[in-house]
Amino acid sequence: MSKIKRKHTVPAASKQRHQMEDDSGSDYEVDRHMTLTKIPKTVAEEFPLPKQVRKDVVKRGSAVQVSEDESSEEDEDDEDVNLPTLTKGQIADILQTIKNNKRLVLNVSNVNFSTAKEEIEEHFRKAGRVKSVRIPKRRSSGFAFVEMLDAEGFQKAFLLHGSYLDGRQIRVQLSESGKKKSHQKILLLEQKNAEIRKMRKKNRTKPETKEITLVPKVQPKIVERDPYLDKKKTKPPTKKEIKAYKKQVSLKAKFRNVEMKGIKV
């Protein structure tokens, strides 16, 4: 009788076990057990360039990329930059609609968190005299409140909208005094700021507003002169003048001598 060789059959349970052991080292299983790590920010993301500088870099053809959202925001901000200020009549009309119109308060946003009060005050001194600067302790974004002392400084302060302070382009808008503002007050202030923006765009054709600048007027220096030291220097007499003077002196002396002798001339 011929011996029949029997094939050893592996049970199904052991097959599945072998497959699990083989699949345990697959890439899929490794990826599933990997923990997500935060991508570190680049230096450009942590310390972004100012908008105007970024535009200049992009124009020169560098590798800096500007997203569509940022470019649209920049275009909107650029519309408000370099606009003339308001006229005195426009400022008077706006102040009439404000409850506490005796205080000239401005809202300055997009301020760097490391910027101090003294730096903000020094920046707004270009427009006029600053009464006070207040930075809220609890704030979600960088902003401050600047109160100007007079209407002239309040008028020129709108020209600082779009200027750079501590590496950031600030926005200057109208505000109202008071620490806590209701939702209705905030909406009214937004409406007024929108009206101010429209008025400033219309003021491009007005020569009154074009003349108002942040450049101080240079007054001529008044030099105080000493009445003794700054006298005009007299010219020395000529030879002819000296001879004529001597003749006059000699004639006068002769007449005096004759009169002293009692002789009438």
Give the pLDDT score at 134: 92
3-state secondary structure 187-244: HHHHHHHHHHHHHHHHHHHCHHHHCCCCCCCCCCCCCCCCCCCCCCCCCCCCHHHHHH
Angle at 202 between CA 196 and CA 203, to 5 degrees: 85
Residue of 46, 59, 61, 55 whose CA lies nearest to 78? 55
Q: Is pLDDT at 68 greater than 60 in this prediction?
A: no
pLDDT digits (tens, 9 = 90+) for 207-232: 888 888 888 777 777 777 777 777 77
Residue of 84, 43, 81 whose CA lies nearest to 64? 43
Packing angle of the helix pair 183-202, 88-97 (nearest 10 deg)? 170
Q: What is the Cα–Cα distance from 173 to 188, expressed in whole angstroms?
A: 13
pLDDT digits (tens, 9 = 90+) for 164-199: 999 899 999 999 877 677 788 888 889 999 999 999
Q: Where are the beta strands (DSSP E) in 84-125?
A: 104-109
Mean model confidence pLDDT for the chain: 76
Give the pLDDT score at 32: 46
pLDDT digits (tens, 9 = 90+) for 226-255: 777 777 778 888 989 888 888 887 877 777
